[in-house]
Chain A
Amino acid sequence: DAGVIQSPRHEVTEMGQEVTLRCKPISGHDYLFWYRQTMMRGLELLIYFNNNVPIDDSGMPEDRFSAKMPNASFSTLKIQPSEPRDSAVYFCASSSAVDRGLHFGNGTRLTVT
């Protein structure tokens, strides 16, 4: 069974550019999460979905961030315009109502110069 798949693995972009991160959850999982990891703030939940519906987006830092889940097998996190302080590792994770443990993807390391 394939795990959570994220792309790209690394992204380097210039300030002001749009960045789109992608995630494919584990098949059958009905929860999807986007986390951000930095040295200063650790792991922070940005948003999570249940059955493709956003449930809690209180962690989304500002309007520059948006997330979508058009179907059960795909989600995107978009930053527009990007800023240097957005540099971090962004993780996607999924879980099911039965198995409460989160299964993480390998993360996307974003660098904004």
Chain B
Amino acid sequence: AQTVTQSQPEMSVQEAETVTLSCTYDTSESNYYLFWYKQPPSRQMILVIRQEAYKQQNATENRFSVNFQKAAKSFSLKISDSQLGDTAMYFCALKYQGGSEKLVFGKGTKLTVNP
């Protein structure tokens, strides 16, 4: 069974600083996708970034980047130059490549960006 663990229920960061959110996962598959989703107070789920497991290069989207360590089954999200609008719940998620399309989510990390 696939599991996703986010060990930090809450985090806070000062505006303009950098913060890293942790995520570990467990799967017996070798090919899969990893995602980070953002859920602001409006409750909309927004895809932030994705990573294909077969790619060694870490994905980057503007101020968001990941540190993907396949052997360690770790997938952390780094937010640079934090902005007040980054305040949200962040969910890490895992899906097999091929087979089931089921996306398994972690419990989430509540991030607060302070002015």
Contact = CB atoms under 8 A, between A and B. Distances in A.
Interface stretch (A15-23, A48-56, A66-74, A78-86): A48-56
B16 to A, nearest CB: 28
A95 B91 CA distance: 18
Q: How large is the interface on A (under 10, 10 to 19, 20 to 34, 35 or more residues)?
A: 20 to 34
Q: How large is the interface on B (under 10, 10 to 19, 20 to 34, 35 or more residues)?
A: 20 to 34
Nearest to A103: B47
Nearest to A97: B101
A55 B102 CA distance: 10
Interface stretch (B63-71, B73-81, B103-111): B103-111
Interface in A23-52: 31, 33, 42-43, 45, 48, 50
Interface string B58-102: 000000000000000000000000000000000100010100111
B35 A101 contact: yes
The DSSP consensus for interface residues of chain A is strand
Interface of A: 31, 33, 42-43, 45, 48, 50, 55-56, 89, 91, 93, 95, 100-104, 106-107, 109
Interface of B: 33, 35, 37, 42-47, 50, 91, 95, 97, 100-108
